[in-house]
Structure 1
Amino acid sequence: MPEVALACGLLSTTARASAQELDPIVNFCIRFDHQSVVKNSTLYIDGGRETFIDVTGNGSSVKQIGTITEGYNNYLVAIDLSQSWDWKTNISEKALPKTPNPRTGTAPPVLSRGALFYGSENDSNIYLWGGTTSYWNTSFPGFEPPTPQQYSLWSFDIATQGWDQYDVTLGSANRPSSGSFTNAEELGLGFYFNGELDSGSEIQTQTYGDGVKQLIGGMIVVDLVKQTARNLSTQAVSSDVPRSRGSMMYISDIGSHGIIVQIGGNYQNVTNTTGITSPIIENLLPMNEIDIFDVASYYNASTPDGTWYKQTTSGDTPEPRIDFCLTLASAPDGSSHNVYLYGGRGADGFFDEVWVLSIPSFTWTKVYQGEAPRFGHTCHRVGNRTMVTVGGAANDNWSSAPCDWETKGVGVFDLSDLVWGSVYNASAPAYAVPTPITARIGGSPSGGATMYEPTPSGFDQPGLADIFKGLYQGPPAAPSPTPRTESSGSRPNHRTAIIVGCSVGGVACITLVAGLGLYYRRQVRHSITGSESQRQEMDSEEKFVHEMDNEKTIIHEMDNQEHSVHEMEERIIQEIDNQQTFVRELGTRNICWELPAENKSVEYSRENSSSGHLRRNSVPADEKVPEVPCPGGYPERSPGGSQRSFKMLPQLPIP
């Protein structure tokens, strides 16, 4: 019925609005495929695709019937996280222009599906790497074709608000998009795993044709202190089957330099080397197998491509998916590291659910199920216990979809209480492990997990078990009643061993320690008489090095065999100069598919209604694809005051 279509914001095609008048904040409708990072209590949102809508008056009134314009976020949007806010009333957003580099006069590119890296702790810059130029509306003001291939790394100085660019040449595949990525801010590194090349990646790939994508292998490690890059082969983890659209999370407190967990995404079958036109939601990776990268191996000269492990998970498992986001919250005592997964899209539809992968038990727990799906978004842990989500789309019909019901493009989820709301609390209490998780892995809100290895068979590989040794060996006898308080956007460091307190009275404990100390001193006097002290040294083969030996650099070149690629022209593969010791070329197969074309402009309406966001508190068991909520209002208010209704899942038995 036309009336229903109008009320729900389904739009008919009309003349395009004057795009030069559109503002990424005032005229915001939907934003997705962007990149974002949190640094110095500020959330930065760069690029991405965005739909814009006309508004009445000065932009503060309710959005009325108007025109949807497809375009791009040409700005760096900044949201203050140092103060509490409600995104319905008083959120602070600024659109920072992307000014040209004063040294070269070149403006930073507007990209989608890249990475925004944190940099190092004492660096005032954030870094844009990777990404692709979208062609979905080349008449949108500010559109520029792909930039020269050598400048794939850009920096934005938070203090001066100036941009700079760096040459970190990576051969022909220097700017992949849609790969998994994560920050290791303690190390000043950014990691980018596999990904895609398309016609917007660089000047040399513009001949690929509309919708053609080439999956590539390798993991790029960007040294954000030196502004250099290194390409590690990923043959050990993905063989000749490159991946895209998964997610990665760096956990600093496991191993000597931390680990990276790689989850989900899609892949290309190794037997098909001629290119296909399959949808991107085919060939999805299972979610019960997690790939783990030991970051310490990156510094080891004997493992030039690093060391990967694979681990099977337990518990109910999420459906395979792509385009979701991850964030991390660790128990106050370090007994569990909980990776939160939100949203995504799969073979049967789109997801509005939150799952938690608890490590080191590698156990999945579903903690939230809703009816407002989201994909192509990003998310971050801020303010101790809050997950802030950024953007995302509800379906792939962007031109006819209603505007984001979270009208500022951000959502707020309490990682401990497992509820959605509109209020961000900058002074929220410390993170506490939620009850559904402790019901699976044991312990309490403050930690004390009793599952500290996978069940029932332990770790799948001995080397992986070695990484986890000594970090946690059971709950403390007297856990602290107060969780540790963290600063906004930071993560606790649990590398120091957990000290088990004395269970006897204080006087008895002191007496015992004094006696042991006296005995130890006497033994030391006897042992050092007439003998030299012995010192255990590390094997020289296990020393960590921070730069690769120039003579041992291994250059990974692209397969020089000729492949038949759908809509791709034959390319000349240029080898890397052997003096570029920090760079290796990506090994790849030409694997492609074509995406459908999209409409450009349609008409939009939104009612000023207080009837509430159309969202139910439960989902029928046979409903696989959630309904798209209508705009114009908010969900029913929950008893706790949240503007987004939710359904708590029953506690699951401990396996």
Structure 2
Amino acid sequence: MYGGQSWVRNGTQIPFQVCNHYLRIADFTKARDLSDSSILSAKDIPGNITIYQQGAFWVDEKNVYVVGESANDEPWLSRHGTTYTAGTVFPYSLESEEWDSEPAVQPNSGSEVTDSFCCGAFEYNAAYGRAYFLSGINGAGARRLYPDTVPGYVSPAGGAIFGNGNLFTFDTANFRWTNVATDTQLTTTGTEGGQFVYLPGIEAEKGGVAVIFGGQRRDTQDMESMRKVLVYNSATSTFYGQGTTSDGDFPKGRMQFCAVAASAPDNSSHNIFMYAGESPDATPTAYSDMRILSVPSFRWLKLDVDSPAKKALGCTLVGGKYMFTYGGVSAGWER
């Protein structure tokens, strides 16, 4: 668990936003009592590494990778004052436990990665060795001048924040970006807070199939409907829209939720578990429901579980059968 932010009160009316300068590690390599606080350890992130939020974060057999995102100050600015170019990747070695930074190789053709992308949907295909980031914005930084004011966002140098409609792909073997325009009839330009989920049972060296859903459109502020999802085949680099059905009510459109996927042993079916999130235009508080999108039927099911309301949280699959959630807040940012 990397970076992000905490909300604290220090005699202020509005909670104050502070950076988390830690890499937190949850150890599930052996049976543990979940009430044991030693499960979670924290390692300080060096001052020459930028602390980001709402970008891309993934792990392979050798490294943790951090890239993109928005910062709580000028874009790409570390605590030591060093600036980094867009597309810079920050790897953390699992063996040496040391951080590094390296500008990734820009695409051989097409547009370069010129802004610090933020707030889109990202995923990592471990078998294929590729990380993906879709939509979102060219997010930069945020600055708070006084404790009782909301953050003021800092635009990228020389331009305003705008929606991104492209698919960024990062090849971990070649350390190279690919920046590909998408079909705008299927994808949106600037959807924030959605999820990009690979179906683990069919990940392969030549690609795999992912489902992208949820989020809020930057241009209209509308929530993406859960009645339709986007399916991406990375082997052929193609998207298609897929309608969904539901046993009962459809999930409400939302952003800032989390999702994981699990596949049947024979890979004949897959379940995508969606938990929590928010709809800023509908409610000031977070959702607490948990839903399953069953594939290939693309049918929504509602689980009868007692879950705490959360938004802006993270989750991951542990041991192929447990969803581990972390972070998040339960109410409006001003509360």
Q: Under TM normalisation by the shorter chain, which class is it?
A: 0.7 to 0.9
Contact 2:113/2:177, CA 8 A, preserved across alignment? no
Q: Does 1:232 align with 2:180?
A: yes
Structure 2 counterpart SS, 1:81: coil
1:243 Cα deviation from its structure 2 partner: 1.6
> What whole-Å deviation, never above 9, does each CA across 1:368-423 have from its counterpart, x for those lacking one?
3546310101111113321110101112235x4xxxxxxxxxxxxxxxxxxxxxxx
SS in 2 for 1:372: coil
Percentage of pairs with the same residue: 22
Distance 2:37 2:20 in 1: 22
Deviation, 1:357, is 0.4
Choose from 208, 230, 235 the match for 1:296: 235
- Change in Cα spacing, 1:371 to 1:250, as seen in structure 2 (3 Å) is closer
Distance 2:17 2:187 in 1: 38
What TM-score, normalized by structure 2, do the two folds share?
0.82
The answer on whether the counterparts of 1:247 and 1:262 sit within 8 Å (CA) in structure 2 is: yes
1:148 shift after superposition: 2.4
Q: Which residue of structure 1 lines up, in the alignment, with residue 264 of structure 2?
A: 331
The match for 1:47 is 3
> Are 2:241 and 1:310 aligned?
yes
Q: Does 1:378 align with 2:334?
A: no
Displacement after TM superposition at 1:158 (Å): 0.8
Q: CA deviation at 1:95?
A: 1.6
Note the alpha carbon deviations across 1:79-112, whole angstroms, 9 max, x for none.
Answer: 2111233343344222212236xxxxxx110001
Q: Does 1:79 align with 2:26?
A: yes
Q: How high is the TM-score relative to the length of structure 1?
A: 0.44
TM-fit CA distance, 1:240? 6.2
1:199 shift after superposition: 3.7
Aligned partner of 2:136 in structure 1 is: 195
For the 8 Å contact 2:270–2:295, the answer to whether it is kept is yes
Distance 1:370 1:223, change over 3 A: same
| 1:237 CA drift (Å) | 5.1
CA contact (8 A) 1:194 1:219 kept: yes
Code of the residue aligned with 1:132 in structure 2: it is: S
Q: Give the conservation status (yes or no) of the 8 Å contact 2:87–2:113.
A: no
1:97: which partner in 2?
44
Q: Residue 144 and residue 193 in structure 1: after superposition, are their counterparts in 2 closer, same or farther (change >3 A)?
A: farther
Q: 2: CA distance between counterparts of 1:134 and 1:296? A: 37
Q: Which runs of 5+ in 1 are unaligned?
A: 1-44, 55-66, 101-106, 137-141, 270-277, 298-305, 401-655
Where does the alignment leave 5 or more consecutive residues of structure 2 unmatched? 143-152
Aligned to 2:62: 124
Q: CA deviation at 1:203?
A: 9.2
Task: Show the counterpart of 1:109.
Answer: 50
Judged with a 3 Å threshold, the aligned counterparts in structure 2 of structure 1 residues 290 and 68 are, in CA distance, closer, same or farther, namely: closer
Deviation, 1:52, is: 4.8
Structure 2 SS opposite 1:219: strand
Residue deviations 1:335-392, cap 9 Å, x none? Answer: 2100000000013222101000010111110113546310101111113321110101
How many Å apart are 1:320 and its aligned residue?
Answer: 0.5
Indicate conservation of the 8 Å contact 1:237/1:309, yes or no.
no
Query: What amino acid maps onto 1:84 in structure 2?
Result: A
Instruction: Tell me, in whole angstroms, the C-alpha distance in 2 between the residues paired with 1:368 and 1:378.
Output: 21
1:153 corresponds in structure 2 to 89
Using the TM superposition, give the Cα deviation of residue 172 of structure 1 relative to its aligned residue in structure 2, in angstroms: 6.2
Distance 2:42 2:26 in 1: 9
In the TM superposition, 1:156-555 aligns within 5 A as: 156-168=92-104, 169=106, 171=112, 173-200=114-141, 205=156, 213-236=161-184, 238=186, 241-254=189-202, 257-269=207-219, 282-297=221-236, 306-315=237-246, 316-346=249-279, 347-349=281-283, 350-368=286-304, 370=306, 372-397=308-333, 400=335
Q: When the two structures are aligned, how many residues end up with a matched partner?
A: 307
CA distance in 2, matches of 1:232, 1:366: 35
Structure 1 pair 79/268, CA: closer, same or farther in 2 (3 Å)? Answer: closer
CA distance 1:186–1:266, change in 2 (3 Å): same
Structure with the larger strand share:
2
Q: Per-residue CA shift, 1:517-550, capped at 9, x if unaligned?
A: xxxxxxxxxxxxxxxxxxxxxxxxxxxxxxxxxx
What amino acid sits opposite 2:243 in the alignment? Answer: T
Distance verdict in 2 for CA 1:240–1:294, change over 3 Å: closer
| CA gap 1:189/1:199 in 2 versus in 1, 3 angstroms | closer
Deviation at 1:215, TM superposition (A): 1.4
The root-mean-square deviation of aligned C-alpha atoms, in Å, is: 2.9
Partners of 2:163 and 2:56 lie apart in 1 by 17
C-alpha separation in 2, matches of 1:325 and 1:144: 32
1: CA distance between counterparts of 2:201 and 2:57?
Answer: 22
Q: In the alignment, residue 79 of structure 1 is paired with which amino acid?
A: A
- Alpha-carbon distance, 1:173 to partner: 3.7
Provide the C-alpha distance between the structure 1 equivalents of 2:67 and 2:129, rounded to a whole number of angstroms: 14
CA gap of 1:199–1:236, structure 2 versus 1, over 3 A, is closer
Q: Is the 8 A contact 2:227 2:250 kept in 1?
A: yes
Q: 1:390 to 1:145 in 2, by over 3 A?
A: farther
Distance 2:102 2:69 in 1: 15
Instruction: Specify whether residues 380 and 132 from structure 1 end up closer, same or farther in structure 2 by C-alpha distance, changes over 3 A only.
Output: same
> How far apart are the structure 2 equivalents of 1:180 and 1:165?
23
Match of 1:133 in 2: 71
1:47 counterpart letter in structure 2? G
Shift of 1:145: 6.9
Structure 2 CA distance, aligned partners of 1:323 and 1:199? 19
Change (3 A) 1:239 1:381: closer
Contact 1:376 1:393 in 2 (8 A): yes
1:68, distance to aligned residue in structure 2 (A): 6.7
